[in-house]
Amino acid sequence: MKLQGIDHIALNVSDLDRAEKFYTEVLGFEVTRRFSSGLRHLMLATGNAAIALFETPDLDTRAALQKLSDTGYLHLAFKADRRQFDAIIQELADKNVVIDSGPVRRGDGESIYFNDPDFNHLEIHCMDRT
């Protein structure tokens, strides 16, 4: 078997409208498709990343996400250009996003860690200049 790559990552959110606002207005994703049959959800894209957000209002994932992240490193990481990294950190602060950790050294670069409004753990990583 030879797969071509990852098509998308799916995340549960309790409020799709709030999550859409966060991923579009804060992180700069673009809505590429909306679905209304079955579970209400949408597809978002930026660069080479696509995310599906599924609205599950009664699902409380905070405790599970916290445990999985603390003991299993569950998170979704985005790549950023080194030249934009400081501006990204400032933009997150300007948009009242709390950075839980970072910038910290990770391999050949730096990362910051924060949560979306539904406590999905996110990372923005940039490689060192070459």
CATH of the domain at 45: 3.10.180.10
Q: How far apart are CA 15 and CA 31, in angstroms?
A: 16
For the beta carbon of residue 105, count every other beta carbon within 10 angstroms. Answer: 10
Residue 105: predicted pLDDT: 92
Distance CA 123, CA 92 (A): 12
Answer with the one of 58, 74, 96 that is the final residue of a domain: 58
Average pLDDT over residues 65-70: 74
103 preceded by a cis bond (ω within 30 of 0):
yes
Does some domain include residue 74?
Answer: yes
In a domain, 103, yes or no: yes
Q: How many distinct structural domains can be found in the chain?
A: 2
What pLDDT, on a 0 to 100 scale, did the predictor assign at position 90?
96
Residues 118 and 73 in one domain: yes
Using the predicted structure, report yes or no on whether residue 65 has a pLDDT greater than 70: yes
d(CA 119, CA 13): 9
- Are 52 and 78 in a shared domain? no
The tens digit of pLDDT for each residue in 17-58 reads: 999 999 999 999 999 999 988 889 999 998 888 999 999 988
Closest residue by Cα to residue 65 from 74, 56, 57: 74
pLDDT value for 84: 93
Domain co-membership, 64 together with 124: yes
Domain coverage including residue 41: 7-58
Lowest-pLDDT range of 55-64, 104-113, 117-126: 55-64
Does residue 54 share a domain with residue 65? Answer: no
List the single range of 28-32, 56-60, 78-82, 92-96 with lowest mean pLDDT.
Answer: 56-60
The answer on pLDDT for 71 being more than 80 is no
Q: Are residues 72 and 114 in the same domain?
A: yes
β pairing state of 49-55 and 9-13: parallel
Last residue of a domain, one of 40, 58, 76: 58
Query: Contact at 8 Å (CB) between 75 and 121?
Result: yes
